[in-house]
A and B are shown apart, each in its own frame.
Chain A
Amino acid sequence: MSLVEVKNLRKIFKDKKLGEIVAVNDISFSFEGGEVFGLLGPNGAGKTTLLRMLSTILSPSGGSAIIGGYDIRENPLEVRSQIGFLTGNTGLYGRLTAYEMLWYIGSLYGMKKEKLKRRCEEVSELLDMKDFLHRKCNHLSTGQKQRVSIGRTIIHDPPVLFLDEPTLGLDVMTSRTIISFIRKAREEGKGILLSTHEMNLVEKLADHISLVHMGKVIASGTLEELQTKTECEYLDDVFLSLIEQEKINEIALYTQNNEFNLS
């Protein structure tokens, strides 16, 4: 069995005004430790919803997923100890220091004092956080905040990492730190699910790519496979050529709906 195995995962939101919205529509994939799995798609494609389901914050409307041997529906707590989820927004407690933040999250995972202390040292070393370790998160720069966020994601040393837009809004330097961190984690044998709308990040890192659009996987494979399939050299073009048709459909549908509302 793979480290992460997702089967026909579905999520339907019931919106009071818009009715049912299918945010994730029958998505299946799997990956192993030591692999970076790239989930690429525009904003609103359903990537975050998918990650939220996999990290058991949202319950799926259909399908299943097994992470590190645990089912997300049956053993949500065990699943959570298998994963580190770097959420889209930094999500730090501004009035805690970086160190307190790491300590708090680590202890929530049930880590013992001695072990946690050692792990905090390790993580701050790894992410180069020594300079600001005892400063309150509110006073940190965006890049520093992102490093603290990653730190708290890996504090319990999980075998699986879900990274949601890890380099969003960061400068080149910090981005590079994060990219090298992802590479290091892959070398350590962690399974990484990288969700982003930034093509070059996926191009640089991902062993396997799934293109997500409107809740569905529209193409899947390695970078070379996708290039041959669409006869495009760059991922941007691959992506555009694949979703172009769908986008036209979407716009058409949207206009149609609006006209319907107006009448």
Chain B
Amino acid sequence: MKLPFTLRIMNLIFRKELKDTLRDRNILISQFLLPLVLYPLVVIITSTLLTGQIKRAEESISRVYVVNGHLSPILSQIIADTPDFKEITTDDPKRTLEEGNMDLIIFIPKDYTEDPMCDETFQIKFNYNSTSELSLMAKSRIDDLLQKYNDLLVQNRLKSRGLSYEMMRPLKLSGFTVSSKTREAGSMIGGFLPFLIILFTITAGFLPALDVIVGEKERGTLETLLVSRITKCDIVIGKFLAVWTTALLSTFLHLISSTLTFATFAQEVLEKLPISFTWTAFLTVIFLIIPLTGFVCAVIMAVTMIAKSYKEGSNYLSAMTLLMFMPLSIVFSPSLTANYLTSMVPIFNISILFRDILKGDFNPGYTLVTFLTTFLYISMILWVALKLFEQEDILFRETVDVSMPEFLSKKKISRKGRFPSSYEVFVLICISFILFFFVGTRLQFMGFIGGVYASQLLLIFTPAILFLYLWNYDIREILRIRGFSIATLGIIIFLALSGMIFTLQITAFQNVLFPFPSAENILGKLVGILKERNGIIDFLIKFTMIALLPPICEEILFRGVLQSTLEKYQKKGHAIVITAVIFGIFHMNPYRFIPTMIIGLYLGYLAYKTRSIFPGMIVHAINNGLIYLVVYFSLETNPHMKWIVEEGAFLPWYVFVPGILVFFFSIYLLKRFYKDNTVIS
């Protein structure tokens, strides 16, 4: 058998690219010099600042104000006797605290008494300023002080009743505390270390890949290379090896530099890290970085193949980095454990292994599976990269860029028939995603219901509409604002119900292979909120939140803007699948990726066939609405109904058999009814 590449040529390209890359000043600085300088600098600066501040706080005297202090002379005496504390007087204690001229306020209740004959328990509160290091120090000292005070009061009370204090204390405990500050810092760094390693890996291949692929296109050297007596496979593999090597060198440099820095400047922290540092662990981490870097570089190569210019390439890569971070954020939830299946999920698998190895668990089986599957993925992605590289229009494509919004140009152009480019839509989706990821989660954290409203309307609906409006695109056509035949309403309702069944059944299969972290209701923590019954208005607000807003906003962004645009440039099937995959990713939950994607698939098909956005909204609304109603009326305990909200459980046969039949039948009917997409005018 003849190989599609020659080792000699691959080696030539590899060596040339390496030489070329290592001569690039930008790459030298960012990939090699930066890691060497970065860690010492960061550690020295932060540790100097930190220790200085801690020292200052430790040496300080905490200034306290006691509200109603006249009621607690004993406390005042204790404060006066403790060298760390000083009682001060002020007119406006709250303000003085905020301004940092005082560290703590102790509130003594109005009815308080130190009278030993009293039997009551009093609540003593204190206020501190969490932004002030001194105030935090006072807070950590106040426990001891109040404990002393408490003991004294107990003694007094017992004495006045003729009892001995020792009688009340059969045990004397002596505990020890480790300085809580270092421990916290340690656990933070311990969780952060694998995260950092992966972060470097992801970014390490960035510049070299851009340089060897896009740089070559931009400088016009690609043609020179292509007319040589070599195959495209030689080029792709040779360049990949060069990028991989550069990225590996850079990652190792990061590792060595950070380890050395910690060992030299912050040994205390290193010793207190909740990670077990052994040579085996260290070598395994290094051993795993090789395939991890390879995987990331392969993906980066494939992505840069599509790009024509540096600018375009770095846009794609930023979006890609965001996607690669998704598995990472889950890994650091401790409930997740490794198994053979998680060992097959790229990036995720290595991240879990890192975490476990640093904790001291090493499983050779998972490591081997991870290692092998990653290499399998690398070859698959390289194959994709090669196929992309073989496409002529990608080699000699004109740069597409986000155009200026139309309203900025003076020329007035009719909206009719104007569609955005795939690239513009891609940027829109990324912006929506980033907004949703950072702003949305924060909004929902501030107030759940308001947060959902705001994030759906402001982060999904508004960007999409604003984009179409300002860039002067054909809103009606893109969003498919068009009626649909009422005769098909029946099909649509059947599709909604059976689609749910179909999706849940697939989720159940997925649950067997790749179990959910915990048996969860679809709505998760939402259930509590949704179960509350506070009258009709409240019901309507929540119903809109669950069953109306997401269908409307998400259909507009996904089946509307995204899929319509893709349909214009791609094969229809591809457009539907790409949209469904992005729809799945957008929901930011790896366990729900497949179910959400399946829902996206039939919603996409529906939009494409009916040429209207409304059927999809109806299906989406039925899906969400049904779940809400079941929870609201507490039907989930009903054995015939609970499948609607139970995720990952197999459905009763009398539900899923007819459900799946109806599902495929309604798809078939849809296909028949809208045979040539011309039924509706």
Q: Which of B12-20, B177-185, B583-591 contacts A (4 or more CB under 8 A)?
A: B12-20
Q: Quick one: closest A residue to B230, CB to CB? A: A108
Q: Which of A34-89 contact B (CB under 8 A)?
A: 52, 55-59, 77, 80-81, 83, 85, 87-89
Q: Is the CB of A91 within 8 A of B20?
A: no
Q: Mark A82-124, 1 if CB is under 8 A from B, else 0.
A: 0101011111111110001000110111100000000000000
Which of B19, B223, B413 makes the CB contact (< 8 A) with A91?
A: B223
Complex Cα–Cα for A108 and B12 (A): 7
Q: Is the CB of B413 within 8 A of A96?
A: no
Is B221's CB within 8 Å of the partner chain A? yes
Q: Is the CB of A108 within 8 A of B221?
A: no
Is B626's CB within 8 Å of the partner chain A? no
A105/B224 contact (C-beta < 8 A), A16-B569, A81-B229, A96-B19 known: yes
Q: Is the CB of A108 within 8 A of B228?
A: yes
Q: Quick one: closest A residue to B24, CB to CB? A: A95
Residues of A within 8 A of B231 (CB): 77
A90/B220 contact (C-beta < 8 A), A80-B227, A109-B228 known: yes
Complex Cα–Cα for A52 and B223 (A): 9
Q: Is the CB of A93 within 8 A of B228?
A: no
Which of B19, B392, B413, B414 makes the CB contact (< 8 A) with A58?
A: B392
Q: Is the CB of B221 within 8 A of A57?
A: no
Is B172's CB within 8 Å of the partner chain A? no
Complex Cα–Cα for A108 and B6 (A): 11
Nearest-Cβ distance from residue A190 to partner chain B, whole angstroms: 16
Is B465's CB within 8 Å of the partner chain A? no
Nearest-Cβ distance from residue B161 to partner chain A, whole angstroms: 90
Residues of A within 8 A of B225 (CB): 108
Is A13's CB within 8 Å of the partner chain B? yes
Residues of B within 8 A of A77 (CB): 229-231
Q: Is the CB of B12 within 8 A of A57?
A: no
Nearest-Cβ distance from residue B239 to partner chain A, whole angstroms: 13
Q: Is the CB of B219 within 8 A of A104?
A: no
Is B9's CB within 8 Å of the partner chain A? yes
Residues of B within 8 A of A94 (CB): 219
Q: Which of B224-250 contact A (CB under 8 A)?
A: 224-231
Q: Mark B565-605, 1 if CB is under 8 A from A, else 0.
A: 00011000000000000000000000000000000000000
A96/B227 contact (C-beta < 8 A), A91-B219, A262-B413 known: no
Which of A13, A88, A91 makes the CB contact (< 8 A) with B221?
A: A91
Residues of B within 8 A of A104 (CB): 12, 16
Residues of B within 8 A of A91 (CB): 219-224
Residues of A within 8 A of B229 (CB): 77, 80-81, 108-110, 156
Is B55's CB within 8 Å of the partner chain A? no
Q: Is the CB of B20 within 8 A of A96?
A: yes
Is A152's CB within 8 Å of the partner chain B? yes
Q: Is the CB of B393 within 8 A of A13?
A: yes
Q: Is the CB of A55 within 8 A of B227?
A: yes
Q: Quick one: closest B residue to A57, CB to CB? A: B226
Complex Cα–Cα for A16 and B568 (A): 8
Q: Give the bracket for the number of chain A residues in contact with chain B.
A: 35 or more
Q: Is the CB of A57 within 8 A of B228?
A: no
Which of A57, A93, A100, A262 makes the CB contact (< 8 A) with B223?
A: A57
Is B23's CB within 8 Å of the partner chain A? yes
Nearest-Cβ distance from residue B454 to partner chain A, whole angstroms: 37
B16, B223, B226, B392 interface centre (most CB from chain A within 10 Å): B223
Task: Tally inter-chain residue pairs, CB-CB below 8 A.
Answer: 75
Q: Quick one: closest B residue to A105, CB to CB? A: B228
Q: Quick one: closest B residue to A85, CB to CB? A: B227
Q: Is the CB of A85 within 8 A of B223?
A: yes
Nearest-Cβ distance from residue A2 to partner chain B, whole angstroms: 21
Complex Cα–Cα for A85 and B225 (A): 10
Nearest-Cβ distance from residue B417 to partner chain A, whole angstroms: 9
Complex Cα–Cα for A188 and B337 (A): 73
Complex Cα–Cα for A263 and B393 (A): 30
Complex Cα–Cα for A99 and B227 (A): 19
Is B395's CB within 8 Å of the partner chain A? yes
Residues of A within 8 A of B19 (CB): 96, 100
Q: Quick one: closest A residue to B16, CB to CB? A: A104
Residues of A within 8 A of B20 (CB): 93, 95-96
Residues of B within 8 A of A13 (CB): 393
Nearest-Cβ distance from residue B13 to partner chain A, whole angstroms: 8
Q: Quick one: closest B residue to A109, CB to CB? A: B229
Complex Cα–Cα for A257 and B219 (A): 34
Q: Quick one: closest A residue to B419, CB to CB? A: A17
Which of B12, B224, B414 makes the CB contact (< 8 A) with A87?
A: B224
Complex Cα–Cα for A69 and B219 (A): 33
Q: Is the CB of B224 within 8 A of A152?
A: yes
Q: Which of A200-234 contact B (CB under 8 A)?
A: none
Residues of B within 8 A of A109 (CB): 228-229
Complex Cα–Cα for A110 and B230 (A): 9
Q: Which of B401-419 contact A (CB under 8 A)?
A: 413-414
Residues of A within 8 A of B395 (CB): 57
Residues of B within 8 A of A105 (CB): 224, 228
Residues of A within 8 A of B393 (CB): 13-14
Q: Which of B208-222 contact A (CB under 8 A)?
A: 219-222
Q: Quick one: closest A residue to B398, CB to CB? A: A15
Nearest-Cβ distance from residue B567 to partner chain A, whole angstroms: 12
Nearest-Cβ distance from residue A65 to partner chain B, whole angstroms: 15
Complex Cα–Cα for A96 and B228 (A): 17
Complex Cα–Cα for A71 and B675 (A): 45
Complex Cα–Cα for A92 and B20 (A): 12
Residues of A within 8 A of B16 (CB): 93, 96, 104
A59/B12 contact (C-beta < 8 A), A16-B569, A80-B228 known: no
Complex Cα–Cα for A105 and B20 (A): 14
Complex Cα–Cα for A80 and B623 (A): 59
Residues of A within 8 A of B222 (CB): 91
Residues of A within 8 A of B568 (CB): 16
Nearest-Cβ distance from residue B146 to partner chain A, whole angstroms: 69
Residues of A within 8 A of B227 (CB): 55-57, 80, 83, 85, 87
Q: Which of B588-647 contact A (CB under 8 A)?
A: none
Q: Is the CB of A87 within 8 A of B223?
A: yes
Residues of B within 8 A of A93 (CB): 16, 20, 219, 221
Nearest-Cβ distance from residue B313 to partner chain A, whole angstroms: 18
Q: Is the CB of B224 within 8 A of A59?
A: no
Complex Cα–Cα for A12 and B20 (A): 36
Complex Cα–Cα for A69 and B12 (A): 28
Complex Cα–Cα for A91 and B227 (A): 12
Complex Cα–Cα for A91 and B19 (A): 18
Q: Quick one: closest A residue to B216, CB to CB? A: A93
Q: Quick one: closest A residue to B17, CB to CB? A: A93
Q: Quick one: closest B residue to A95, CB to CB? A: B23
Nearest-Cβ distance from residue A152 to partner chain B, whole angstroms: 7
Q: Mark A235-263, 1 if CB is under 8 A from B, else 0.
A: 00000000000000000000000000011
Residues of A within 8 A of B396 (CB): 52, 58
Q: Quick one: closest B residue to A90, CB to CB? A: B220
Complex Cα–Cα for A81 and B12 (A): 17
Residues of B within 8 A of A59 (CB): 392
Complex Cα–Cα for A16 and B19 (A): 39
Q: Mark B24-46, 1 if CB is under 8 A from A, else 0.
A: 10000000000000000000000
B9, B20, B229 interface centre (most CB from chain A within 10 Å): B229
22 contacts between A and B (CB under 8 A): A14-B393, A52-B396, A55-B227, A77-B229, A77-B230, A77-B231, A81-B229, A87-B223, A90-B220, A91-B221, A91-B222, A91-B224, A92-B219, A93-B219, A94-B219, A95-B20, A96-B16, A104-B12, A108-B13, A108-B228, A108-B230, A262-B413
Q: Which residues of B contact A (CB under 8 A)?
A: 8-9, 12-13, 16, 19-20, 23-24, 219-231, 392-393, 395-396, 413-414, 568-569
User: Told that A57-B223, A108-B230 touch, could you supply 9 new A-B pairs with CB distance under 8 A?
Assistant: A13-B393, A14-B393, A57-B395, A87-B223, A89-B219, A89-B220, A107-B12, A110-B229, A152-B224
Q: Which 4 A-B pairs have the closest CB atoms?
A: A89-B220, A108-B228, A95-B23, A91-B224
